[in-house]
Amino acid sequence: MSDSENSLAGFSMLELFRVEAETQIGVLTEGLLQIEHGAEQHQLEELMRAAHSIKGAARMVDILPVVTIAHAMEDCFVAAQDEKLVLESRHVDHFLRCLDLIQQIANLNEGGLSGWLERNQNNINENVKDSQAYLVAATSVDNKDGVSPVNSQVGQQDATHVAPMVQHEEINEKSELIDPVVPQSIVASDVIIPRALELPSTSDHCSLGETDAVVTKSSSVPSNVGGDLSIRVSSVCFDRLLGIAGESLVESKRLAPYTQSVIRLKHQQGKLITRLDRLREKMVEQGVPPRLVSMLRDAQESADQYRSELTGRIDELEQFDRRSCTIAENLHREVISSRMRPFAEGVTGMQRTLRDIARDLGKQVKLEIQGLKTQVDREVLERIKSPLDHILRNAVDHGIESPQEREQAGKSAIGTIELSASHSAGMLSIIVKDNGRGVDVESLRSRIVRRGLTNQAMASTLSEAELLEFLYLPGFSTRDAVTEISGRGVGMDTVMTVIKEMNGVVRIRNRPGQGFQLQIQLPLSLSVIRALLVEIEGEAYAFPLSRIERVEKIDADSLQTLSGQPYFVAEDRNISLIPATQILGLAGSTVDSKLLSIVVVGDNYGSYGVVVDRFIGERELAVQKLDPRLGEVKDIAAAATLDDGRMSLIFDVEGMLHSIAKIFGADVVSIESVRGTVAPGQNKDKHILVVDDSMTVREVERKLLQSCGYVVDVAVDGLDAWDSLRKRSYELVITDVDMPRMNGIELLEQIKADSRYSGMPVVIVSYKDRDDDRERGLSAGADFYLTKGSFHDDTLRNAVVDLIGEVAA
C-alpha cells in the first residue's frame, strides 16, 4: 500500500467526499462572486472544473442527487464558456442555492442522509430544473433556424447524458439513494441538455477515470498535480505531536552539557599525563630503579593512548550532538509549520455573506481581500473567523451608507470594505477598513449618557479613544432598532474578548464622514510565541512580546514618587512601578535594587512598569497549556519548556493588568470608572457575579440585574467564578448548582472557607426544588435558595435588595 493510501486508511469514503466538497464549494463560491460583474474564460473553466470534481466525488460515494445538481451546474458553465449563456446575478443566486444544498448534503452523516434526501427531494428537483431551464432558454435564443436542438437531439442525448445515469442507478438498484432526483418526464424530453453545450464527448466529460482530461490554466484551483495530499488531523493529535517534538528538542539540547563535561575530563586527563611526566623525571633524577621508571613510562603511554581514543570519541559525540540538534530543530520547525494555513481558509464564504447582507439592506458593497496567502496558525485562523464575521457585518450595517447617501456625500454609490492580512514584526496584522460614514463621536457621547453609562459632566471629558471603547461594551449598540443583522449590542464585545484571549490588541482609527479602520494584532501562532524571558525570585517567567510596550533599565535613584508610589517618566507619561513579586504574591521585593529592570505593559487606559530581577533575553517558546486540574492560575496563561529543560510560566498580561489595578485601588476595568458619577476608588456601584453554565440563564440574570442598576459580571462555572473573585471585589455571588469542573455547592464551600470572602452573601438559583437540595445549599452557607422560576417575578430582585441594598441614585 502506498504512503498516500496509508494516510487515508482512517477515513471513510463519505468523509473524503465531505473534504472534497468543502474545498470545491469554496472555489465555486469565490468564483461565482467574481464573475457576477463579468466572466472571463479562465474563471468559467475553473468553475466547470470544480463542479466536475464534485460530481465525480459524489458518484464515487453514490450520492446521486449531488451528481445531478453538479452535472447541471457544470453544463451551465460549459454553455457560458461557449457564449451560449450569459451569467447574471440571478444565475449566481441560483448556483449559490445549489451549493447550499450540496453543502447540507455533505454535512449529513450516513444515518441521516436518506431521510434528508427524501424530505428535500422537491427542493433538489426544482433547483436542477431551474439549471436546465437556463440552458433551454439560452439554446432557444441561439437557434436561428427556429428548430429546437433539444428535441432533434433527444435520441443522441439519451445515449450520452442520460444513459450513464440510468446504468449507474441499475447497478446500485439496492441503494437507498437511487430514487430519481428529476421527474421522469423531465429526463425523457422536457429539459435535455443540447449536445452543442457538451464537452467533446461524454466519456471524456464524465468518466471518473479521466478526470484530468479537463485542464485549467489557473493555479488557484486546488489540485494534487504535484502529488501533494492534504488530510485532516485532530487538534488533540496535533498538540500531542507538537509536545513530543518540543520534548525532543529539549532532550537534544541536554547532550551539549554532557559533551562539555567529557571535554573537561579530557583536559584533566592531560594534566594528569603532564604530572606523570614530571614524576618520571624526578624518579630518574633520584636514581629510582629503571624497572620502576619503565613501568611508569608504560602507564604514561597507556594514558596517552586513552587520551587519543577519548578525543576521537568526543569528536564523534560532538558530531552526534550537532546532528541530533539539527534533526530535532527541523522536526520541531516542520511540525509548527504544518499548523500554518493560508489566511484564505479563514475568510472562505465572507464575500458571499457580505453580498447577501448588502442586498438585504439595499446597499452596494465591494469587499477587497489582500494577503490571502499569509500564513497563520490554524488555531488562530479558527478563532478569528467569528470576530471577523462580526466586524464585517458591522461595517456593512453601520459603516457603509445607502447608495443615495453616498452619492449625496460625493462618494461612489458602491461602498468598499478592505480586509488585509500581513506579517508585521513577528505578528499577524489584520486590518478592516471601510470608506463609509465612520463614527459620529458627539452622537456616541450623547448615546452613552442616554444609556446611563455616565453623566453629562463626565462624558464631556472623555477623549475620542475612550468614547470608542464603549462600542465594545456588552449590550451597547449605536442602533436604536433591532434587526436580524445588528442592534442587540452583542458581537463587538465578543470580538474584544476573543482577541484578548489570544493576547491580541485592537487599534481603532475613526474618520467621521470618511470611514472607519480597525487593526487587530495577533500572534502568528498560539503554539509558538516570541517572548521576553525574565527572572523573578530565581524562576523564569515570560512576557509575550505582543503585549510589551517597552523595556527599561533605570537607576533607582532617578525615580520620582507621588503619594509614596514610585514612577518614572517616558514619552511625557508617568509610569507607575510595581514589583513583579508583589503581583505574584511572593515574599521578595526587587524595587530596592540599585539598577531596576522594568517591563512596561498596559492598555488604552494606562501603563505600568513591572520590576523584575533581570532580563534573560528574547526567546521563541512552544506554548504548553496548563493542566486543567490546576484551574485558572492567577495571572498565568500557559507554560513553556526552555532549552535547558527548565519550565517557564507565561504571563497572562490582561489578567496581570487586572491584578495591578486592584493593588493600586483602581477599578479593575478602567472603563468601569466612567460608568458611575464618582471618582475611581470611591465607586458606589454594586458588583454582582452571576455563575451559570447556561448562556441563556446567564444573560437573563445579567439583564434583569442590570436593569436594576447593578454592575454584573458572569462566569461559566465554579472555577471560572473563583478566578473572577480573586481578580476583583464583589458584593454578591449568584450561582447555579450543577456545573462542570466545580459545581455551585463546591464554590459556596470554598467561598465560606476563605477568610477573604467568607462574609460575602451567596444566592443559589437552581432548577432543583427538592427539600434535600434546598437543605444542602442552605447548610453550605447560602443566604437564599431560589428556583429559576423566580426570574418571572420579583423574588430574585427582592433577595438581592435584602442582601446588598439598592443601587444609590
C-alpha cell at 51: 463542479
Q: CA 435, 464, 672: angle at the middle one, nearest 5?
A: 125
C-alpha cell at 474: 456588552
Instruction: Write the pLDDT tens digit of every residue in 87-112.
Output: 888 888 888 889 888 988 888 877 77
Pairing of strands 415-424, 365-370: parallel
Give me the pLDDT at residue 211, please: 32
Give me the pLDDT at residue 226, please: 39
> What is the rounded distance in angstroms from the CA atom of residue 554 to the CA atom of residue 786?
56
> What is the rounded distance in angstroms from the CA atom of residue 518 to the CA atom of residue 433?
6
Residues 6+ apart with CB under 8 A from 524: 340, 375, 376, 377, 380, 423, 426, 427, 428
Overall residue count recorded for the chain in this entry: 809
Give the residue among 274, 356, 246 at the shortest CA–CA distance from 621. Answer: 246
Give me the pLDDT at residue 212, please: 33
Pairing of strands 539-544, 528-536: antiparallel
Q: Which of 233-242, 390-399, 638-647 has the lowest mean pLDDT?
A: 233-242
> What is the rounded distance in angstroms from the CA atom of residue 404 to the CA atom of residue 657?
46
Dihedral over alpha carbons 741, 743, 746, 751 (to 10 degrees): 100
- The most confident of the ranges 273-287, 420-434, 455-469, 790-804 is 420-434
CA 51 to chain CA centroid, Å, is 30
Q: What are the residues facing 545 on neighbouring strands?
A: none
Residue, of 184 and 801, whose pLDDT is higher: 801
Residues 6+ apart with CB under 8 A from 651: 541, 542, 543, 544, 635, 636, 637
- The most confident of the ranges 267-271, 283-287, 357-361, 603-607 is 357-361
Instruction: Write the pLDDT tens digit of every residue in 333-365.
Output: 888 788 888 998 888 888 888 888 888 889 999
When pLDDT is cut at 50, 70 and 90, the band that residue 185 belongs to is very low
Which SS3 state, helix, strand or coil, does residue 107 take?
helix
C-alpha cell at 796: 430574585
Contact assessment for residue 587 and residue 567, using Cβ atoms and an 8 Å cutoff = no
Which residue matches cell numbers 492598555? 603
Q: Which of 44-58, 342-356, 467-481, 615-629 has the lowest mean pLDDT?
A: 467-481
Give the residue among 115, 75, 120 at the shortest CA–CA distance from 100. Answer: 120
Instruction: Write the pLDDT tens digit of every residue in 138-165.
Output: 666 555 444 333 333 333 333 233 333 3
Give me the pLDDT at residue 771, please: 76
Residue, of 802 and 5, whose pLDDT is higher: 802
Which residue matches cell numbers 486508511? 9
Contact assessment for residue 526 and residue 544, using Cβ atoms and an 8 Å cutoff = no
Q: What is the mean pLDDT of residues 315-340?
A: 85
pLDDT exceeds cutoff 80 at 545: yes
Pure H helices in 399-491 = 403-408, 441-450, 456-459, 464-468
Contact assessment for residue 657 and residue 603, using Cβ atoms and an 8 Å cutoff = yes
Q: In the predicted model, what is the mean pLDDT of the chain? A: 76
> What is the rounded distance in angstroms from the CA atom of residue 182 to the CA atom of residue 141?
24
> What is the rounded distance in angstroms from the CA atom of residue 250 to the CA atom of residue 647?
11
> What is the rounded distance in angstroms from the CA atom of residue 670 to the CA atom of residue 460?
17
> What is the rounded distance in angstroms from the CA atom of residue 136 to the CA atom of residue 155?
17
pLDDT exceeds cutoff 80 at 66: yes
Tell me the chain's radius of gyration from C-alpha atoms: 35
User: Does this model's pTM top 0.75?
Assistant: no
Contact assessment for residue 577 and residue 559, using Cβ atoms and an 8 Å cutoff = yes
Q: What is the mean pLDDT of residues 782-809?
A: 79
DSSP state of 162: I
Give me the pLDDT at residue 42, please: 79
DSSP state of 481: S
> What is the rounded distance in angstroms from the CA atom of residue 550 to the CA atom of residue 570?
10
Instruction: Write the pLDDT tens digit of every residue in 423-479.
Output: 887 788 999 999 999 988 888 888 888 877 777 877 787 778 778 877 876 666 666
Give me the pLDDT at residue 314, please: 84
Residues 6+ apart with CB under 8 A from 344: 372, 373
Which SS3 state, helix, strand or coil, does residue 155 take?
helix
Instruction: Write the pLDDT tens digit of every residue in 212-254.
Output: 333 333 334 344 433 455 666 777 787 788 778 877 877 787 7
Which residue matches cell numbers 477623549? 463
> What is the rounded distance in angstroms from the CA atom of residue 254 to the CA atom of residue 642?
11
Cα-Cα-Cα-Cα dihedral sign, residues 99, 103, 106, 111: negative
Identity of the residue numbered 705: L
Instruction: Write the pLDDT tens digit of every residue in 660-700.
Output: 877 775 433 333 332 333 333 334 578 899 998 776 677 77
Cα-Cα-Cα-Cα dihedral sign, residues 353, 354, 356, 361: positive
Give me the pLDDT at residue 789, please: 62
Give the residue among 45, 347, 94, 344 at the shortest CA–CA distance from 199. Answer: 45
CA distances from 297 to 292, 293, 294 (A): 9, 6, 5
Cα-Cα-Cα-Cα dihedral sign, residues 634, 635, 638, 642: negative
The percentage of the chain sitting over the pLDDT mark of 70, rounded to a whole number, equals: 78
Give me the pLDDT at residue 402, please: 92
Pairing of strands 548-555, 539-544: unpaired
> What is the rounded distance in angstroms from the CA atom of residue 597 to the CA atom of residue 112?
63
pLDDT exceeds cutoff 80 at 390: yes
Q: What is the mean pLDDT of residues 733-741?
A: 84
Q: Which of 115-119, 217-221, 272-276 has the lowest mean pLDDT?
A: 217-221
CA distances from 505 to 205, 496, 508, 656, 662 (A): 51, 9, 10, 15, 22
Q: What are the residues facing 532 on neighbouring strands?
A: 543, 618
Residue, of 601 and 703, whose pLDDT is higher: 601
Q: What is the mean pLDDT of residues 559-573?
A: 81
| Secondary structure E strands in 194-303 | none
pLDDT exceeds cutoff 70 at 371: yes
> What is the rounded distance in angstroms from the CA atom of residue 386 to the CA atom of residue 394?
12
Neighbours of 267 (CB within 10 A): 9
Contact assessment for residue 721 and residue 737, using Cβ atoms and an 8 Å cutoff = no
Give me the pLDDT at residue 695, please: 67
Q: What is the mean pLDDT of residues 609-619?
A: 91
The percentage of the chain sitting over the pLDDT mark of 90, rounded to a whole number, equals: 11
Give me the pLDDT at residue 604, please: 60
CA distances from 544 to 623, 630, 639, 651, 652 (A): 11, 22, 12, 7, 9
Q: CA 386, 704, 735: angle at the middle one, nearest 5?
A: 80
